[in-house]
């Protein structure tokens, strides 16, 4: 892991997010890039050039102030990253900018979706980035959590392609952990997934120097997402690794109930890939 990107903004949640990203980058010997994104302003054609020019001037001034506020938070934390850290400010569509930059990194760190804060947060729900990025995304909750590289990691496993991608993307972090627990709630959804046996997985992890335990969570009336969330509390895990599960229909239902529940309600960072 050589490049970590963290989304930087003017929200109260930003500092914890940067602290986590800096901790991961320091532990892995990676460079840290803070990415601050603000949208372009668009005007109808009938608006006069004078009004447009004045509005852009004001927009650029406010953009500069927001960047400097974010830089103060970022620089204070990022100075501990020995491999180097930089803040990059970009104007454009948030989803497009973040997705593109994430494809040139080993890990993207962003927060849970914030509503009602407008351009201050300037974030869409992270599921859209996860679906398009092709890179692992670490989603940090707003509530206070452990900012150090996790010692207890919980991996959600069902033998699927998505779970496989997430687990192998997380290997650098699993190798740093003291305790790794691989949990399963649902039955395999395909023949191939059925043959991705838990014991075979534990052997593979052992070959990477990761000693893991397995746990089969009994299915109840609770949703799979809630069962995973409850087990996080019981296990004391400080990181959840899971695939972004879904189907091939509209984006509103692509992520599926499990992924949405985890992204919206998890109280610890979630590393998710697809």
Q: How distant is the alpha carbon of residue 27 from its chain centre?
A: 18
What Å distances lie between residue 124 and 155, 164, 271, CA to CA? 25, 26, 17
Residue pLDDT, tens place only, 49-106: 776 677 677 767 788 899 999 999 999 999 999 999 999 999 999 999 999 999 999 9
Phi and psi angles of residue 80, each rounded to the nearest 5 degrees, phi first: -85, -10
Does 253 have pLDDT greater than 50?
Answer: no
- DSSP H helices, the chain, are 14-28, 49-78, 94-102, 126-133, 161-169, 171-174, 191-195, 198-207, 224-235, 251-254, 256-265
Q: Are 125 and 137 in contact (CB under 8 A)?
A: no
As a whole number, mean pLDDT of residues 143-154 equals 94
Domains of the chain with bracketed CATH: 3-140 (3.40.50.620), 152-273 (3.40.50.620)
pLDDT bucket at 221, cuts 50 / 70 / 90: confident
3-state secondary structure of 118: helix
Least confident of 42-51, 126-135, 165-174, 189-198: 42-51
Phi-psi bin for 137: left (phi > 0), alpha (psi -120 to 50), beta? beta
As a whole number, mean pLDDT of residues 161-166 equals 92
Residue pLDDT, tens place only, 179-202: 999 999 876 667 787 778 889 999
**pLDDT at 246 (0 to 100):** 54
pLDDT bucket at 111, cuts 50 / 70 / 90: very high
Residue 256: CA count within 13 A, CB half-sphere: 15
Q: Are 25 and 32 in contact (CB under 8 A)?
A: yes
Residue 137: strand pairing partners: 108, 272
Does the model's pTM come out above 0.85?
yes
């Amino acid at each position: 892991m050589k490049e970590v990107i963290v989304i930087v903004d003017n929200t109260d949640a930003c500092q914890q997010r940067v602290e986590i990203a800096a901790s991961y980058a320091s532990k892995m010997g990676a460079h840290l890039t803070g990415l601050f994104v603000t949208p372009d302003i668009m005007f109808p054609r009938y608006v006069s050039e004078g009004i447009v020019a004045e509005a852009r001037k004001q927009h650029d001034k406010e953009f500069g102030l927001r960047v400097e506020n974010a830089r103060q938070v970022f620089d204070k934390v990022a100075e501990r990253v020995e491999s180097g850290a930089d803040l990059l400010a970009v104007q454009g569509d948030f989803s497009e900018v973040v997705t593109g930059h994430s494809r040139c990194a080993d890990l993207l760190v962003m927060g849970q979706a914030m509503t009602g804060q407008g351009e201050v947060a300037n974030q869409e729900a992270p599921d859209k980035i996860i679906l398009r990025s092709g890179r692992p995304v670490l989603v940090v909750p707003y509530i206070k959590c452990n900012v150090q590289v996790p010692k207890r990691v919980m991996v959600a496993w069902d033998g699927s392609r998505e779970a496989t991608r997430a687990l192998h993307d997380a290997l650098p972090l699993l190798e740093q952990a003291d305790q790794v627990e691989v949990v399963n709630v649902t039955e395999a959804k395909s023949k191939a997934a059925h043959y991705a046996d838990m014991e075979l997985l534990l052997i593979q992890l052992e070959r990477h120097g990761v000693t893991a335990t397995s746990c089969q969570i009994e299915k109840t009336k609770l949703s799979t997402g809630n069962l995973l969330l409850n087990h996080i509390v019981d296990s004391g895990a400080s990181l959840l690794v899971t695939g972004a599960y879904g189907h091939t229909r509209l984006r509103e239902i692509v992520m599926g109930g499990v992924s949405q529940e985890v992204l919206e309600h998890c109280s610890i960072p979630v590393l998710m890939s697809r």
